[in-house]
Amino acid sequence: MNNKGKKKKKQVITANIFEQQELLAKVEEIKSNLKASTWRELETKGKFSKNEKLTFISDDMLILGCDIGSETH
């Protein structure tokens, strides 16, 4: 078997300190605008139907879910 692999050179990634500062500033701005809500808090006028929930969600929202099961399934 003839195995002619190319050795990859280790590339050093240099980051400009100004770019890092810009990224940190963006992260802080995003963190300051984050808001956590539950569906119960949002459903002030009764329960949302499935379609109402889908239309309520916008592009700038991040939806997280957690499924807590029992010890035995």
Concatenating the DSSP letter of every residue in 18-52 gives HHHHHHHHHHHHHHHT-----HHHH-TTSPPPHHH
Question: CB–CB of 48/56 below 8 Å?
Answer: yes
The reported pLDDT for the residue numbered 41 is 76
The reported pLDDT for the residue numbered 18 is 78
The reported pLDDT for the residue numbered 60 is 80
DSSP state of 11: P
Cα(39)–Cα(65) distance, integer angstroms? 11
- pLDDT < 70 stretches in the chain: 1-15, 72-73
Dmax (CA) of the chain: 72
**pTM, entire model:** 0.38
Question: CB–CB of 23/37 below 8 Å?
Answer: no
